[in-house]
Amino acid sequence: MRWALGEAAANEIHQPAALLAASLGLLPAVGRALWARGLRDAAAAERFLSPRLDQLSDPFGLKGIDAAVARIQRALEEREPLCIYGDYDVDGVTSTALLVGTLRKLAACAPGAAPPARIDFYVPHRLVEGYGLNLEAMRKLSARGTRLLVSADCGVTAVDEVEAANKLGMDVVVIDHHTAAQVLPRAVAILNPHQPGCVFPGRELAAVGVAFHLLLALRKTLRDAGWFARSPEPNLREQLDLVALGTIADVVPLTGPNRVLVHFGLKELARAARPGILALKSVAQVKGEVSGADVGFKLGPRINAAGRLDDASVGVRLLLTEDLVEARTLAEQLDRANSERQELQARIAGEALEQAEKVFSKAGRHSIVVSSKGWHVGVVGIVASRIVERFHRPTVVLVDEGGVSKGSGRSIEGFHLYDALAQCSSHLTRFGGHRHAAGVTLPSAGVTAFAEALEERARAQMNADMLSPRLRVDAEIDEKEIHLDLARQLQRLAPFGVGNPEPVFVCRTLTAHEVRVLPDKRGTGPGHLKLRLGPEPAVRAAERSPVLEAIGFGLGRAKLLPGERFDGAFQVGIDTYLGAERLQLKMKDLKT
């Protein structure tokens, strides 16, 4: 693995980084981590460390926002039936729940004595209907009386489907964040920071973040129109639990507005005022404070599981219910679906990795495409991620369903997957997504040709360095700087994720006093490296230096002997056991 040491690793940066840290009351090593993130002055660093909701940009800066607000306001005033059409992943489910729940509250505030507008939702069945808007669903919704359709996390490429909706008497407002096609649907409004002509600064918002900004603009407009003179104004801050769930699960950069939204959303998740969140945390065994990792590895996958295997509307119902008993029942249903998904995923991943090994063994292969008739389309995205982790190649995993292959792709740093697919579009029936992830549909007879076309694009765009995993290192650190206070201060840089990874430090003076290999849960991998580090016992006693505990997940094959000195790259974390905190280094790589 290549260690990529940033500017903050240079010795000449240590002094200005230390001065930055001192101005903020922080340790010098934290200053180097801030410097590595491009934060070079106290004001910028303070904004980063202490997010505020007023740091969000004016929602009226979104292209299409005025038309969207006006159409929704008219629907609420005239009591038109309105439907939110969501995607089946976590971003789509949370976007749908956010819009339905908030619009129902706003509808109840509409002037006049008539009953409020009916706000419904629709989530397509992944295995039956596939991704996004579809013509049969448009007919069903029109027959139900829907007059305004608001898409959530889909729609920006649905030219024919939106046209069909228009002919059926439905107006459409599109909320999406996927890469926009050259030809946009004829909707009343399109809210998508990636569409041509949109200069909104929050380009990396997930769909749930775009939906939240729409609601901010709508609430202000209704406030100015006097809607809340006699009714309580909905508190949108309370909805940020949904925004955090969708944003983290969709793996968008946790910078700019996303950082602000997730910072406050995690606090709402910790509060768990929503019955569905309380029940979800219970089945996922998440207690108290909620981290980005909790969302990414425990809460998000359970919401995702229903949509991957069966009916994603279960997740929407969980997030909307006010009944604690119903919430528990739905959460347990999602928990069972997640267990089923894990078993299915493990089997398919094993088969896909075997295929990928054969593809990878071909000399100089820059991309991987694997396919089978027996796989489940609901888990191929996760399986693609596993293959990317193993081989560090952009990967597409396909399922052959009677002559039509559908699947998902995942990419690596520096390779824009959507753009590559666009250049291979002659082989595809349908595709969509963004830089890191995408979905595709194509004739099964054309899979081989598509794989070669993707390989051609990968070879043209990637050099040798890009084909080996890169470990981004924030800065070097002295062993004496590593202690619990440092770990606590580094937590102020959270939430961590894409665009704001957890800081990685390198120390070149480590000595392993104890070396153990712990087996992984399945007993099939390399195992985990368990270390006790620190100076020699005599030096440790004289200097009162603590022993450092370290764990290296997946590093069981590392050749390291007790007493051996090595260079280690690690994150400085806190392990909590029975309420007590202790320092633990999370070893990412080592070199002897």
Confidence (pTM): 0.91
pLDDT of 299 strictly over 60? yes
Question: With contact defined as beta carbons under 8 Å apart, do 302 and 330 qualify?
Answer: no
CB atoms near residue 169 (< 10 Å): 10
Per-residue pLDDT band at 68 (split at 50, 70, 90): very high
Whole-number pLDDT of residue 51: 97
Structural tokens at position 376: 């489940």
pLDDT of 90 strictly over 80? yes
| Bridge partners, residue 517, by sequence | 529
Mean pLDDT of 178-190: 91
Per-residue pLDDT band at 542 (split at 50, 70, 90): low
| Residue with the larger pLDDT of the pair 76 and 374 | 76
Which of 518, 516, 519, 556 shows the shortest CA–CA distance to 533?
516
Same fold, 59-236 and 471-591: no
- What tens digit of pLDDT does each residue of 221-273 get? 999 999 999 899 999 999 999 999 999 999 899 999 999 999 999 999 999 99
Whole-number pLDDT of residue 432: 87
- What tens digit of pLDDT does each residue of 486-507 get? 999 999 999 999 899 999 999 9
Which residue shows structure tokens 């694009």?
Answer: 457
Edge-to-edge strand list for the sheet holding 189-191: 119-122, 82-86, 148-152, 171-175, 189-191
Question: With contact defined as beta carbons under 8 Å apart, do 293 and 251 qualify?
Answer: no
Whole-number pLDDT of residue 135: 94
Whole-number pLDDT of residue 132: 87
Whole-number pLDDT of residue 578: 77
Backbone Cα Rg of the chain: 25
Q: Residues 351-379, buried b or exposed e (16+ Cβ, 10 A)?
A: ebbebbeebbeeeebbbbbbbeeebbbbb
Quick one: CATH architecture of 471-591? Beta Barrel (2.40)
Best mean pLDDT range from 306-320, 407-421, 543-557? 407-421
Mean pLDDT of 93-100: 98
Q: How far apart are CA 274 and CA 312, in angstroms?
A: 19
The domain 362-467: what is its CATH number? Answer: 3.10.310.30
Whole-number pLDDT of residue 540: 52
Whole-number pLDDT of residue 576: 84
Which phi and psi angles does 20 have, rounded to 5°? -60, -45
Class of domain 59-236: alpha beta
Whole-number pLDDT of residue 57: 96
- What tens digit of pLDDT does each residue of 391-427 get? 999 999 999 999 999 999 999 988 999 999 999 999 9
- The residue count of the chain comes to 592
- What tens digit of pLDDT does each residue of 138-156 get? 999 999 999 999 999 999 9
* Helical segments of 406-559, H only: 417-423, 447-461, 484-490, 537-543
Per-residue pLDDT band at 434 (split at 50, 70, 90): confident
| Residue with the larger pLDDT of the pair 414 and 371 | 371
Whole-number pLDDT of residue 23: 97
pLDDT of 544 strictly over 60? no
User: For the chain, what percent of residues have pLDDT higher than 90?
Assistant: 82
| Bridge partners, residue 409, by sequence | 396, 438
43-51 long-range contacts, Cβ below 8 Å, gap at least 24? 45/20, 48/259, 48/493, 49/24, 49/492, 49/493, 51/259, 51/260, 51/263, 51/264
Whole-number pLDDT of residue 521: 75
- What tens digit of pLDDT does each residue of 513-539 get? 899 999 887 666 789 999 999 766 555
Whole-number pLDDT of residue 566: 95
Dmax (CA) for the chain in angstroms is: 83
Q: How far apart are CA 491 and CA 379, in angstroms?
A: 32
Which sequence spans correspond to the domains of the chain? 59-236, 362-467, 471-591
CB atoms near residue 72 (< 10 Å): 29
Mean pLDDT of 48-73: 97
Whole-number pLDDT of residue 535: 62
pLDDT of 471 strictly over 80? yes
Question: With contact defined as beta carbons under 8 Å apart, do 205 and 181 qualify?
Answer: no
Strands 82-86 and 119-122, how do they pair? parallel
